[in-house]
């Protein structure tokens, strides 16, 4: 005999169709064989229906082939997705496209992978864009099989409608995701503006102000960004064409460095192609500092070192090699430096 649901040939004692999972007895109850009107009220009998009987019954109750159901689940872009070897939508939209295609768990996994493999994110992103079609259709096939098993007593048209309803796309979750991200961005921006999320060691110099490090005092002009640590204070200024940085630091390990030159030899990092100018002495404020200038491919660095009875102080300036915008700022700051005796 044959399964009334899908037409697969089954043995006399088979309870469930091995192909579609239909209950053979239930299908016999549904099918009124011959002219006996009361057969559904009696214990169903095993019958050998003809191919024509089965065909006529299948027109009403058969699922149709899986491709039909998968096509109904995917929707109007079925052919396009099936043919593409590289998903441009995935490449440009990332996890949003997974959410749009109702692959919610995969979308979350996508985000997690992006975080875990951030240094090689682009490579991961390309591989996911290539594999989207296989991920999507394998998932859809499993979902269609589940729909068939959960609705095995439904007719073909009902099964198709269920596939269409549960499949397709979900633009609303994409819109909700974008709205949430906008809200998060706005809230974060407000918190940053109010210095709630910013490191307490950071601030912007809003007007020319006096600062100090141990026995060194100096003035920083308006506009510099200020990073304050226990033994290091760094001030940076972004101009139109340059990035100016001046750093003040101190160390107590004076026994390790008999002279300022020894300190610079150990702590000033240079590369083979750098130009290192001879060390000289410069008076800054009320003390004489040892000075070293290092010119690299892109930057010009100046190092000023002062060794006292209990500390070694260092001032470092850095600016772009092709732009002297920072020089007046550095001159102003160095002119304000004073060592408290």
- DSSP character for 254? G
The domain segmentation of the chain, as residue ranges, is 1-62, 66-190, 202-339
Helix boundaries (H) for 63-217: 66-74, 78-83, 88-93, 95-100, 104-116, 121-150, 156-166, 171-193
pLDDT of residue 199: 47
Specify whether the backbone of 218 is left (phi greater than 0), alpha (psi in -120 to 50) or beta. Answer: beta
Looking at residue 148, its pLDDT comes to: 86
Spell out the per-residue pLDDT of the chain, length 341, in tens. Answer: 777 766 777 777 777 777 666 677 776 766 554 434 444 444 444 445 555 555 455 544 455 568 889 999 999 899 999 999 999 999 999 999 999 999 999 999 998 988 888 888 889 889 999 999 999 999 999 999 999 888 877 888 888 899 999 999 999 988 998 999 899 888 877 665 554 444 445 677 888 899 999 999 999 999 898 888 778 899 998 877 778 999 999 998 888 899 999 999 999 989 989 999 999 999 998 899 999 999 998 899 999 999 998 999 999 999 988 888 899 999 999 999 999 87
* ∠ CA 130-134-138, rounded to 5°: 160
Bridge partners for 226 per DSSP: 203, 235
Which homologous superfamily is 202-339 in? Mog1/PsbP, alpha/beta/alpha sandwich (3.40.1000.10)
pTM score of the predicted model: 0.45
CB 219 within 8 A of CB 210: yes
Tell me the DSSP string of 32-85: --TT-TTTTTSPP------HHHHHHHHHHH----HHHHHHHHH-TTHHHHHH-S
Burial class (CB in 10 A: 0-12, 13-18, 19+), 145: middle
């Amino acid at each position: 005999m044959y399964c009334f649901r899908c037409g697969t040939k089954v043995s006399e004692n088979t309870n469930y169709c091995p192909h579609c999972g239909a209950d053979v007895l239930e299908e016999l109850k549904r099918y009124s064989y011959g002219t006996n009107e009361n057969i559904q009220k009696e214990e169903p009998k095993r019958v050998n229906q003809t191919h024509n009987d089965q065909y006529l019954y299948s027109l009403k109750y058969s699922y149709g082939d899986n491709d039909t159901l998968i096509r109904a689940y995917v929707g109007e872009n079925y052919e396009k997705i099936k043919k593409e070897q590289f998903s441009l939508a995935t490449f440009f939209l990332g996890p949003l496209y997974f959410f749009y295609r109702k692959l919610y768990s995969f979308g979350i996994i996508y985000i997690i992978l992006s975080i875990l493999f951030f240094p090689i994110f682009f490579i991961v992103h390309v591989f996911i864009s290539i594999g989207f079609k296989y991920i999507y259709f394998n998932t859809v096939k499993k979902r269609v099989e589940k729909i068939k098993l959960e609705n095995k007593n439904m007719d073909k048209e009902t099964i198709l409608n269920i596939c269409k309803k549960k499949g397709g796309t979900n633009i609303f979750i994409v819109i909700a995701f974008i709205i949430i991200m906008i809200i998060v961005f706005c809230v974060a921006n407000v918190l940053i503006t109010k210095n709630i999320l910013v490191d307490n060691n950071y601030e912007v110099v809003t007007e020319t102000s006096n600062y100090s490090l141990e026995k060194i005092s100096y003035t920083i002009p308006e506009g510099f960004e200020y990073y304050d640590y226990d033994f290091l204070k760094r001030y940076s200024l972004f101009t139109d064409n340059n990035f100016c940085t001046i750093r003040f630091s101190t160390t107590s390990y004076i026994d390790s460095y008999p002279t300022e030159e020894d300190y610079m030899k150990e702590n000033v990092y240079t590369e083979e192609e750098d130009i290192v100018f001879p060390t000289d002495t410069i008076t800054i404020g009320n003390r004489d500092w040892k000075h070293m200038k290092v010119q690299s491919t892109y930057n010009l660095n100046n190092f000023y070192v002062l060794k006292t009875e209990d500390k070694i102080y260092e001032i470092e300036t850095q600016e772009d090699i092709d732009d002297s915008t920072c020089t007046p700022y550095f001159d102003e700051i160095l002119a304000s430096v004073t060592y408290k005796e």
